[in-house]
Amino acid sequence: MRQYGLFPEDLPKPSHYELLGVHPSATKEEIKEAYKRLKSIYQPGSLAVYSLFSEEELEKASKALDEAYEVLVDERRREAYNEELIQEGCLNPAELFRREPAVAAERGREVSFQEGGLAEDKGAFPQAKDIYRGEFLRRMRMLKKVELVDISKVTKIRVETLENIEKDNYTALPHRIYLRGFLLEYARYLQLDPIEVANTYLKHYDEWERKQMGR
């Protein structure tokens, strides 16, 4: 996969699936919809990224999206790409099969908030897509007895940035395209569904950003 210099060198480059924000089992229609949505965001003059990226950066983002789309909508190229990801240990073959969208990688446990606490029950992960926000992620980390410094050592993400993610401190977070990479790595460390975590968290981030632009 060609690299376009969009991501920090000390972080793993996102896969085509991560770049488009789709699950590895996504249908061709889902991939097309994701591609169309992202292309409209990263086009020159887009209000969503106005002042955040230079023309050169937008062009690189557009090329990266084009390559991801072209590979994933071509059955043979997608199959070869999946095999490459599997061999590199970046993709679990089980992820290529359809599943409920909000079911996380950690199965066999249902987590919900009850009177400010964290309750655990047997069963599937909760279906509510709005669950992946900073406070929930913090509580999941605490439940697993993981310190931020532990995540930082493995992912190379600064502890301060991880703290801001958990506090939903959007003003102190990096640009969206970098933030997505951080969220994916954070979720993988906690064995949560990285795509669902990133997509849900960024949905709230985008809502906040639109409100800021509407001032």
Structural domain includes residue 79: yes
CA gap 80, 88 in Å, rounded: 12
CATH assignment at residue 202: 1.10.260.40
Summary mean pLDDT of the chain: 76
Domain boundary among 54, 81, 99: 99
Is the same domain home to 138 and 206? yes
pTM above 0.75, yes or no: no
Is the same domain home to 95 and 136? no
Is the same domain home to 196 and 133? yes
Average pLDDT over residues 108-128: 37
**Is 64 in a helix, a strand, or coil?**
helix
| Buried/exposed 31-59: b ≥16 CB within 10 Å, e otherwise | bbebbeebeebbeeeeeebeeebeeebbe
CA gap 111, 174 in Å, rounded: 29
User: Is the CB of residue 77 less than 8 Å from the CB of residue 165?
Assistant: no
Domain boundary among 51, 84, 99: 99
Give the domain range for residue 153: 128-215
Domain tally, the chain: 2
Structural domain includes residue 111: no
Is the same domain home to 11 and 94? yes
Average pLDDT over residues 69-88: 92
Average pLDDT over residues 90-107: 58
C-alpha radius of gyration, the chain, whole number: 17
Is the same domain home to 2 and 92? yes
